[in-house]
Amino acid sequence: MNAQMPSPDVKQQEYELLNAIAQDSLVTQAGLSARLGIAVGSVNWYIKRLINRGYVKVSHLDRTRLKYDLTPEGMRVLTQRALLYMKSSLRVYQEWREKAKKIASDLKARGVKSVYLEGNDEVMDILRLTCIEMGLAVADKPCGWTLRHILQDYVIVEDADEGN
């Protein structure tokens, strides 16, 4: 696969159809409609578009049954889109990881030994693992230093009474 090739202009619905067809080439348009939550007429229109673009080929199994297969070009588009998503996700993870390392380093430099993490989502999981890795204990309840994330950053809240 050529990493320099620009990503084809594939709409989200088309990508989802390509993915569904890759998983089950005998899927019906009604099945695709139900799985993707779009009208059968829209499924039909998107499939025709994918066929015209050379991403899908259709075979007649019998008078009423069709089989959809991804062409090599369709497989390339599906794979390229998945790789772009994966690279983007890794970039986001790395950005949060760097922010977590910086805040943990700042706290260690202040002599902090234990923190409380407010929140329980993927962004806070990155911070939790980074704190543990860097030797900061993660408390089950507020302990003087509370960390949370607001928008695109981590923030420190210090309780002046307990500055541990």
* Long-range interactions of 106-110: CB distance < 8 A, separation 24+: 106/156, 107/136, 107/145, 107/156, 108/134, 108/135, 108/136
What pLDDT, on the 0 to 100 scale, is given for residue 6?
Answer: 43
Q: Worst-scoring range by mean pLDDT, 67-71, 80-84, 127-131, 159-163?
A: 159-163
Query: pLDDT value at position 148?
Result: 94
Question: Looking at residue 161, what is its pLDDT?
Answer: 52
Residues 135-148: what's their mean pLDDT? 92
Q: Which residue, chain included where needed, has tokens 């070009």?
A: 73
Confidence of residue 9 (pLDDT cuts 50, 70, 90): confident
The pLDDT value recorded for residue 143 is 84
- What pLDDT does residue 10 have? 83
Fold type of domain 12-70: Arc Repressor Mutant, subunit A (1.10.10)
- Calculate mean pLDDT across residues 12-25: 93
Model pTM greater than 0.75? no
Of 97, 105, 98, the C-alpha closest to 125 is: 97
How many angstroms separate the first and last alpha carbons of the chain? Answer: 54
Q: What average pLDDT does the segment 136-151 reach?
A: 92
Burial class (CB in 10 A: 0-12, 13-18, 19+), 149: buried
**What is the residue extent of each domain of the chain?**
12-70, 91-158
Question: Which of 86-90, 141-145, 156-160 has the least mean pLDDT?
Answer: 156-160
* Band (63; pLDDT cuts 50, 70, 90): confident
Confidence band, pLDDT 50/70/90 cuts, at residue 144: confident
Q: Which pair of structure tokens corresponds to residue 106?
A: 């700042």
Measured torsion, CA atoms of residues 86, 91, 96, 98, in degrees rounded to the nearest 10:
140
Q: 115: closest CA among 89, 149, 141, 139?
A: 139
Query: Is residue 34 scored above 50 in pLDDT?
Result: yes
Which residue type sits at 104? Answer: A
Strand partners, 137: 114
Q: What is the mean pLDDT of the chain?
A: 90
